[in-house]
Structure 1
Amino acid sequence: MSDPGPAPVIGITTYRQPAGWGAWRDVPADLLPSDYALSVERAGGVPVLLPPLASREAARVALSRLDGLLIAGGADINPARYGQQPDPQVTVWYDDRDASELWLLAEADEARLPVLGICRGMQMMAVAAGGTLVQHLPDVVGHAVHAGPPDGYSSTEVTVDGPGRVTELIASRLSVPSHHHQAVDAHPGFRIVARDGDGVAQAMEADGDRFAVGVQWHPETADDSGVFDGLVAAARERAARRR
């Protein structure tokens, strides 16, 4: 059996928001739910957390040390990033994180780095490619089921329609944990490969031989390792080519 080489290193973007622990309250912190890193580890990768970076050059340097990139979930994206005024339901965004992830995605495109986007991450991939978002899904589908409870997830039935990478990684029909009130609308350079019963885009992937996949749900919170396996496998192959 051939040596697969060292485990690939996967960078994961993080929040920068006030947090509390012990006696400390409202301290600016770079943080992320541990489910993301644990999912990368279970898939055979080495997770590295990436705080919001200060420049595109910093993003380039960071990615030069990585084998793959995961754009995590989080707050809404500033609608100005895709040429729109904010909907009344879009009131909070973080410009430092938006800028950092756009730089990371631009550099990842140039370096042909494998990328996985989760929830906000899928939306950011679309925006980085020149696409747009549905700012408030209930205005379109007539209900708020996708958002789930404030501190939890709803269950969404998703149908995957291949062919493509996503078809090879997960079941063709599955129930997924969801927590979002926005969705991808325009998505240049990507194919929608999964939708739910409302027709909402639930997964997309880029054409060609590069792994660039986004999912609207939260696989890190469920027994749903397929997309993490795909990211880590693609990162391992890229790392082996560079050795």
Structure 2
Amino acid sequence: METDVRWGVWQHQAAVLPAGYHRLVQRAGGTALLLPPDADERAREIVSRLDGLVLSGGPDVEPARYGAGPEPECGPPDPARDAWELALARAALEQRVPVLGICRGMQILNVLLGGTLVQHLEGHRGEPGVFAEHAVRPVAGTRLAAILPEPVTVPTYHHQAVARVAAGLVPGAHAEDGTVEALELPPGEHPFALAVQWHPEEGRDVRVMRALVDAARAGTHSGPGPEARTAASPSPAAG
């Protein structure tokens, strides 16, 4: 997403991404690339050059994408970003490129495959601009449970969540209030398609991102040597 930013004496539009994302990729052993907004029809070509894709956090997905009208608490839409990230996610699934969704990224994956969202819920974020923490419990037998075998406390900042899980997706974790905290495609459906509702880039636990990097290394797409190229679409805010 492009937004106005200021540095020094300059103020310009820029494609920005919180540094936690690329730092987490690097800590997990990958090489991070940023994907600025582009024409939707270029998504397949761009994804074909990647070893893995991260769909980052950000603003609310436009309710029209899942057949709903906006409720009062829903944030302003960003149709261009929705279209770009839906195109990237679709290309990653079609080309069997490993993909990890984070917060909004999980919602994008669910909406892409036909699911819906809760437009507002309480208790999953702190004060404006402040991450909260809560526990999540992985679902036994899922890909996520193999990565995180025990309940964990995670950084969280979101007010929307999954309502109806899309056909084919499997819940991989829940919060104590029952909120779906992870979604995945079964291994037989895709080499690595996992999404979490929390923000691993704001914590110290690299296991989820390391699983993506390992899947990217093991894939058929060519990589830049021993490290896997993992790209993220820029976003200016945590979702």
Q: TM-score, normalised by structure 1?
A: 0.87
1:33 aligns with 2:18: yes
Task: Find the counterpart in structure 1 of residue 124 from structure 2.
Answer: 146
Shift of 1:21: 1.3
Query: Which residue number corresponds to residue 110 of structure 2?
Result: 126
Question: Which structure would you say has the larger RCO, counting Cα contacts within 8 Å and 6 or more residues apart?
Answer: 2
Query: Which residues of structure 1 form unaligned runs of 5+?
Result: 1-14, 138-143
**Counterparts of 1:30 and 1:90 in 2: how far apart (Å)?**
23
Residue 23 and residue 171 in structure 1: after superposition, are their counterparts in 2 closer, same or farther (change >3 A)? Answer: farther
**What is the one-letter code of the residue matched to 1:204?**
L
Residues 1-243 of structure 1: matches in 2 within 5 Å?
Answer: 15-25=1-11, 27-56=12-41, 58-137=42-121, 144-188=122-166, 189-209=168-188, 210-239=191-220
Q: Which runs of 5+ in 2 are unaligned?
A: 226-239
In structure 2, do the counterparts of structure 1 residues 53 and 241 end up closer, same or farther at CA, with 3 Å as the change threshold?
A: closer
TM-score by length of 2: 0.88
- Tell me, in whole angstroms, the C-alpha distance in 1 between the residues paired with 2:90 and 2:47: 11
User: Offset at 1:55?
Assistant: 2.1
Structure with greater proportional helix content: 1
**Distance in 1 of aligned mates of 2:79 and 2:97:** 24
Structure 2 distance, partners of 1:170, 1:105, is 24
State how far apart, in whole Å, the 2-side matches of 1:201 and 1:150 are.
22
Change (3 A) 1:79 1:208: same
Secondary structure, aligned partner of 1:37: helix
Q: Matches of 1:113 and 1:183 in 2, distance apart?
A: 25
Following superposition, the deviation at residue 171 of structure 1 comes to 4.1
Deviations 1:155-206 (A, max 9, x none): 1111111212211112421111110000011222111121111100011111
